[in-house]
Structure 1
Amino acid sequence: MAGGKQSPRQKMINLMYLVFIAMMALNMSKEVLTAFGMINEKLADSNASVSERNEAAMAGLAAKADEQPAKYVPLKEKAEQIHDLTIQFTSYIEEQKQLALEDVGDATDYETMDQSAKLDELFFSSGKPSAAGREFLNAIETYREGVAGIIEEDFPAIAAEIRREFSTEPVEDREGVDKPWLEYNFQGFPLIASVTKFTQMQGDAKSAENDILSAMLSGQLQSEVSLTNYEALVIPDKTAFFSGENFTGTVVLGRVDKTLQFDKVVINGKEVSSTQAGQVKLEFPAGNVGENEIKGQLQFREGDSIVTIDVNKSYSVIPRPNSAVISADKMNVVYRGVANPMTISIPGVGNVSANAPGLRPAGGAGNYLMDVTTLQAREVTINVSGELPGGDKVSDSKTFRVKDIPRPVGTVRGEDGTVRMQRNTLEIATIGASLPDFDFDLNLRVTGFKIKVPGQPTVQVRGQQLDERAKGALRRAGRGEMIQIFDVEAQLANNSSYKLKQVSPVFVELTN
């Protein structure tokens, strides 16, 4: 179980699962989908190994029941009930997996399993659990309460752990909002991620059964069963590895002694009281992005003396993902005349430096502004560098196209193109310029324009409204005639030095 005794291999699988969920939130690539599939395969292999151990434990218990019926028959009966509940539950989960994969042609082609629609349609209806969703929740509850009820009296701690591990109570997300358990764990996830979670649930149930059998037998099973008390501990040389480098570490055997009680535990200078079953439960703020240390001491009494074991480990903290990284490759553009906002970061790196012509920090981690008004080149490259935990350097770059602000269009009363209005309305209307569908909200100021009335000389106007000469020419126009307003002079309100492209004309059809 995730909160009980686990093999280091299982812990590493769980860690990989969480890391890849974080990677998914940053960028759902085909490699991530394949990685989920590989994790699912490893979980399935691990589950098969646990099943073999459970079967061996059941066989050993049966042999002991034959030898000492009075002592072992009651344990054997409870073990068989738990075993049956576990088989029923894991078989039901297997049915859900097969149902989820029924439309998948190749169950090993993980890159095609990037959609969530199959399970969303199966488990949810109108934003609430469907009949199949309620059946799934009921199956979890039946298993949880069935197993916990059998062992409640003899092993209350394990029963409580099972209720916690298989709880279906609402879950608080990172924004502090309680979400239904089914929605939080399955809605909107890629198919391969949900299939992997199904496999993990099967593994949790099998591990729970193994924990219960171990507690029941208390080290009195045959030697092959008692060996499950030993775990292969994988100790990596560091807690985070990056693509392209080799994994380095060591494997040692360790034995978990649930009878051991610590007299004093100090971690990072603070005494820890949450110890149980020979284990110390740690919970403290993860710290800043980068490499962090766990230091302390474990003290326990051995005879008349106090034995002290030092704790000295390190771990890496990476930024919490809060948005997906989605980019349209053809839209890598920065514009002259405006301050282009940029967000620049490297996942897993706290301090990042970036440089390019016109680029400057804008306050806040990863926030920059880029002004390429004076840059004559058609492209600009942003170079980014940082230092990984452990001291390794990492760098990257990205090239953006440099473009001018698009051609503005003239407006009358805020309307462009051909506008129909009355003569007296045009006399008092404001002539303007706009940038329709442009990504930046720019304030354009008009300083002058020309107006052409059919049959009349062109009139040059200074300002944003018709002057007396323009109004005089307008009064000589007939109904239905088209008035042309062109050569609109406009500039950026906050950057008058930037020369905009020529403003498109606007036409007014008189309605009286």
Structure 2
Amino acid sequence: MKKHLYILFSASLLLTTTACNFLNKQTIDSFEAIEVDVEAASLDTSKEIKSLMKTLTDSAMANPAVYASAYNHMNEFHNKSERLLTELQHVRSLINDQVGETGDFEKMDEDTDELLFNGDSPSENGARFIKAIKDYNLTASDQLYFFPEAEKMAQQTLFIEDVTNRDGETVEWLTYHFKGFPAIASKVKIMTMENDVKNVEVTFLKALIEKPQF
């Protein structure tokens, strides 16, 4: 887990320090290395989710009086997570279609503004992306409310709020995080969000196992 947190911290730091309109070859290489690490961390988190869900399922079979409700909550929350993951993977596939999954330097340095923006406003894909995150936050909040650690994690990583930039200007979330950024940066950002969704679910499931009745 500590290794996964380090990988995600490295990705966040690189995303924060990247110039919006230029990347050199060395920075591209750094992003591509982090992309591999984030993908590996995400696969490990998926395995952990599967293991936790099996534990809850087995508990519900053995002791339904205690775990039946938790089993239902598990499936409900998992479906919410999967819906958001599907939308995030859709955005990532759009980027791959534009630049290729292992694009060269020039392609990876291209921005993906046309995918997510129509001028200064979100494009159809951009609006769909934002709606998916907002829908997740709205529908998951009723379950996360009972588990503060998971709720706090979701609020810190998946809430969409306007951002104040370094010039003191208020900028919409999508614009601040994606407009003008090179494709590889946007791709890593999406992958990091995918892992955030999974980590919230892991934290939720662990808490649900500890407190199956609430």
Native 8 Å contact 1:65 1:73 kept in 2:
yes
Counterpart selection for 1:166 from 154, 158, 161: 158
3-state DSSP of counterpart to 2:97: coil
Change beyond 3 A, Cα 1:12–1:159: closer
Question: What is the correspondence of 1:432-447 to structure 2 with a 5 Å cutoff?
Answer: none
1:109, distance to aligned residue in structure 2 (A): 3.4
1:104, distance to aligned residue in structure 2 (A): 2.7
Question: What is the correspondence of 1:196-215 to structure 2 with a 5 Å cutoff?
Answer: 196-215=188-207
CA distance in 1, matches of 2:114, 2:125: 10
Change beyond 3 A, Cα 1:162–1:15: closer
1:84 aligned onto 2:79 = yes
Structure with greater strand percent: 1
Could you tell me which runs of 5 or more consecutive residues in structure 2 were left unpaired when the two chains were aligned. none
Change beyond 3 A, Cα 1:23–1:138: closer
- Which digits, 9 at most, give the CA deviation of each residue in 1:6-41, with x for residues without a partner? x22122113322443466339721121121111111
CA distance in 2, matches of 1:56, 1:87: 16
CA distance in 2, matches of 1:197, 1:49: 18
Structure with greater helix percent: 2
Paired residue type of 1:194: S
CA distance in 2, matches of 1:193, 1:209: 25
1:122 aligned onto 2:115 = yes
Paired residue type of 1:137: I
1:52 aligned onto 2:80 = no
1:36 aligned onto 2:35 = no
CA distance in 2, matches of 1:71, 1:175: 54
1:155 aligned onto 2:147 = yes
Aligned to 1:9: 3
1:193 aligned onto 2:185 = yes
CA distance in 2, matches of 1:158, 1:17: 21
**Identity value in percent:** 25
- Which digits, 9 at most, give the CA deviation of each residue in 1:268-317, with x for residues without a partner? xxxxxxxxxxxxxxxxxxxxxxxxxxxxxxxxxxxxxxxxxxxxxxxxxx
Aligned to 1:278: none
Q: Which has the larger radius of gyration?
A: 1
Greater shift after overlay, 53-62 or 126-135? 126-135
1:145, distance to aligned residue in structure 2 (A): 1.6
CA distance in 2, matches of 1:160, 1:19: 21
Native 8 Å contact 1:23 1:32 kept in 2:
no
CA distance in 2, matches of 1:214, 1:135: 31
1:103, distance to aligned residue in structure 2 (A): 2.9
1:98 aligned onto 2:93 = yes
Residues paired across the two proteins, number: 210
- Which digits, 9 at most, give the CA deviation of each residue in 1:110-135, with x for residues without a partner? 5231011xx31121112111222111
Aligned to 1:109: 103
Counterpart selection for 1:67 from 56, 59, 62: 62
Aligned to 1:218: 210
Native 8 Å contact 1:115 1:190 kept in 2:
yes
Native 8 Å contact 1:37 1:110 kept in 2:
no
Paired residue type of 2:127: R
Aligned to 2:173: 181
CA distance in 2, matches of 1:18, 1:89: 20
- Which digits, 9 at most, give the CA deviation of each residue in 1:198-244, with x for residues without a partner? 10010000000000001111299xxxxxxxxxxxxxxxxxxxxxxxx
Question: What is the correspondence of 1:465-476 to structure 2 with a 5 Å cutoff?
Answer: none
- CA RMSD after TM alignment: 2.1
1:60, distance to aligned residue in structure 2 (A): 1.0
- Which digits, 9 at most, give the CA deviation of each residue in 1:386-429, with x for residues without a partner? xxxxxxxxxxxxxxxxxxxxxxxxxxxxxxxxxxxxxxxxxxxx
Could you tell me which runs of 5 or more consecutive residues in structure 1 were left unpaired when the two chains were aligned. 1-6, 221-512
Change beyond 3 A, Cα 1:56–1:39: same
1:99, distance to aligned residue in structure 2 (A): 1.1
CA distance in 2, matches of 1:19, 1:157: 23
